[in-house]
Amino acid sequence: METTLRGVGVSHGVAIGEVRHMGTAVLEPPAKQIPAQEAGREQGRARQAVDAVAADLTARGNLAGGEAQAVLEAQAMMAQDPELMADVDRRIAVGSTAERAVYDAFAAYRELLAAAGEYLAGRVADLDDVRNRIVARLLGVPMPGVPDSDHPYVLVARDLAPADTALLDPSLVLGFVTEEGGPTSHSAILARALGVPAVVALPGAGELGEGTVVAVDGSTGEVFVHPSEERKAELAAAAAERRAALAASTGPGATADGHTVPLLANVGGPADVPAAVAAGAEGVGLFRTEFLFLDDSERAPSEEKQIAAYRQVLAAFPEGRVVVRVLDAGADKPLAFLTPADEPNPALGVRGLRTLLDHPDVLRTQLTALAKAAEGLPVHLEVMAPMVADRADAKAFADACRAAGLRAKFGAMVEIPSAALRARSILREVEFLSLGTNDLAQYTFAADRQVGAVSRLQDPWQPALLDLVALSAEAARAEGKSCGVCGEAASDPLLACVLTGLGVTSLSMGAASLPYVRATLAKFTLAQCERAAAAARAADSAEEARSAAQGVLSGE
């Protein structure tokens, strides 16, 4: 008998297949004592296992490229964290085996993160994965991970570690479902990059029996267990209709009555550019530059290295617009040479522009490299600062851009509610705004973007978040400047229409989402988008907002 479960749809498409569960986690190693004379050997075993796991994660990142590479390199750095390794050595010195010392040291660090208010709770899943890989290597047992199967399947897991998500084979993994996670978790972002249908934050996902047939709708968040033949046919027809609409939709982004909405791509480095170009991106709305700085946590990349990487991306969009975000270090992207190691609350501490203003040499080198990378290219370069809180921040960034001789537009990201509330003031110092809806939701609702338990507050359909978007767009319109969205909200086709109705002037997203958004925008006029936006803002919950907008656009 068919039953319906509902989670959060985070990656478009439909998948129908049998359930296969993620490999079980590593068992807790026994707590046995070793003689003192064996401590040196055990410490050596621990270091070898840690180095091997870090090398494996880095290799997986190199294979995956793009955003996945940055995530996996961060995990590799986590594996080799000096403080963690010192704790492992101390535990072995007092009699623990290598595997037990690793297990206990990671558990202690996990508790520290939880005690800090779970602002880094999203990193806990990454930490657990690193621990499991090291312990598995020490025990000589298979790594936990994606099941071995010759037939396509729907992958079900409590959560998916980046190392597993990054190398999923779309020809075998039809889609995936997780019990935890949220719309802006690493797994969700990577799923969209892969174009794999996915539903996260689904209660009871782990109870789905191995081999059970399910139908996963990554757009609605619905998972149909034992779907009827009628349901399969209905979903297949909807998927076919969607594919036909995508194939027919080409060219610049625009509403049905010709109101232009440039559709841009989010890229994490040169590896993401081919997919963006193939999907018809009109430029880049968010070029994340962290990938360069994660290569070496001890020092910033040279100016020459930065110039070469930036030029690769800029050259791919002649006459196009490329918006570069300067380094956003801190919080979940710590760098030893930049970010404090002892911050009690990193997400609310020194991160983004605050970090760069504390290290003006790093900012100056990056801005100079961008200026040189753009020389001789017919590209429209724009540079923006992350985590701008007020006009003083915006002025400090604009002054740094001018001092570096940067011939580009300077902008500010709106990720903090204060920036949305005082957007017009900020726009007196910079030339454009770009809304990072992932962090804006996190700070608006005091809801960590990686914690599944608060995923409803991370839903970009929350009316309070839409109010902040509207405030920013209205301020930009009043100042005669632009206001784009580069957060994950832009990848939702229906929400893209609402954002357009709120006055947003461009939308940037993962390449896989571009055809969906382009096709949906083309169905509706600007007036319809504006009515849908008003209906969504008048609602009292994310679910009501989506339903209200859907009703307006479907003519109900």
The tens digit of pLDDT for each residue in 482-518 reads 999 998 789 889 999 999 999 999 999 988 889 889 9
Average pLDDT over residues 419-445: 96
- Contact residues for 441 (Cβ-Cβ < 8 A; gap 6+): 184, 447, 449, 457, 458, 459, 460, 462, 465
Pairing of strands 3-6, 222-225: antiparallel
More confident residue, 343 or 3: 3
- Residue 26 pLDDT class (50, 70, 90 cuts): low
- Sheet containing 213-217, strands listed edge to edge, beginning at the edge strand earlier in sequence: 3-6, 222-225, 213-217, 14-21, 153-157, 173-178, 198-200, 8-11
* pLDDT tier for residue 142 given thresholds of 50, 70 and 90: low
Q: What would the two tokens of residue 28 be?
A: 């807790």
Torsion of CA 52, 270, 14, 172, to 10 degrees: -40
Q: With 80 as the cut, is the pLDDT of residue 184 above it?
A: no
Per the DSSP assignment, residues forming a β-bridge with 315 are: none
269: left (phi over 0), alpha (psi -120 to 50) or beta: left
Closest CA to 128 of 115, 141, 109: 109
The CA distances from residue 152 to 16, 19, 173, 379, in Å, are 9, 10, 6, 43
Separation of alpha carbons 491 and 101, rounded Å: 43
Q: Does position 283 have pLDDT exceeding 90, yes or no? A: yes
What's residue 125's pLDDT?
Answer: 67
Average pLDDT score, the chain: 87
Task: Give per-residue burial for 503-536: e unless 16+ CB within 10 Å, then b.
Answer: bbbbbbbbbbbbbbbbbbbbebebebbbbbbbbb
Average pLDDT over residues 367-395: 96
Amino acid identity of 55? A
* 201-220 pLDDT tens trace: 899 898 898 899 999 999 88
pLDDT tens, position by position, 76-102: 888 888 888 999 999 999 999 999 999
CA 142 – CA 122 distance, rounded (Å)? 25
Cα distances (Å, whole numbers) of residue 315 to 154, 212, 286, 480 = 39, 48, 15, 29
Token reading at 165: 């998500």
Q: What is the pLDDT of residues 147-157, one digit of tens each?
A: 777 789 999 98
Q: What is the pLDDT of residues 213-243, one digit of tens each?
A: 999 999 889 999 999 999 999 998 888 877 7
What percentage of residues in the chain have a pLDDT greater than 90? 55
Handedness of CA 397, 402, 405, 411 (dihedral sign): positive
The model's confidence at residue 127, banded by pLDDT at 50, 70 and 90, is: confident
Q: Specify the DSSP class assigned to residue 279.
A: T
- pLDDT of residue 115 exceeding 60, the answer is no
User: What per-residue confidence (pLDDT) applies to 482?
Assistant: 98
Residues 276-280: what's their mean pLDDT?
Answer: 91
Q: Which residue has the higher pLDDT, 37 or 294?
A: 37
Q: How many other C-beta atoms lie within 10 A of the C-beta of residue 151?
A: 8
Q: Predicted confidence band at 191 (pLDDT cuts at 50, 70, 90)?
A: confident
Do 21 and 157 contact (CB within 8 A), yes or no?
Answer: yes
* Residue among 162, 149, 187, 143 nearest 74 (CA): 162
CB-CB contact of 499 with 523 (8 Å): no
For residue 198, pLDDT beyond 60: yes
For residue 79, is it left (φ>0), alpha (ψ between -120 and 50) or beta? alpha
In this predicted structure, which of 18-22, 129-133, 146-150, 203-207 has the lowest mean pLDDT?
146-150
Q: Which residue has the higher pLDDT, 281 or 456?
A: 281
Radius of gyration of the chain (CA): 24
Catalytic residue among 483, 486, 497, 529: 486
Query: Which residue from 140, 266, 205 is spatially nearest to 8, judged by alpha carbons?
Result: 205
Residue 375: how many CA atoms within 13 Å on its side-chain side? 9
CA distance 72 to 290: 12
| pLDDT at residue 114 tops 90 | no
What integer pLDDT is reported at residue 487 of this predicted model? 81
Q: Of the listed 186, 401, 483, 497, which one is catalytic?
A: 186
Take residue 130 and report the two structure tokens written for it: 């690193």
**Contact in structure between 202 and 225 (CB atoms under 8 Å):** no
Kindly write down the DSSP assignment for every residue of 383-447, as one continuous string. EEESS--SHHHHHHHHHHHHHTT--SEEEEEE-SHHHHHTHHHHTTT-SEEEE-HHHHHHHHHT-
Mean pLDDT of 292-302: 78
Q: Does 181 score more than 80 pLDDT?
A: no
Q: How are the residues of the chain apportioned to helix, strand and coil, as percentages rounded to the nearest 5?
A: 50, 15, 35
pLDDT at 67 over 70: no
Residue 394 CB burial class (10 angstroms; 0-12, 13-18, ≥19): buried
Catalytic residue status for 186: yes
Q: What is the DSSP letter of 42?
A: H
Query: Does 486 qualify as catalytic in the annotation?
Result: yes
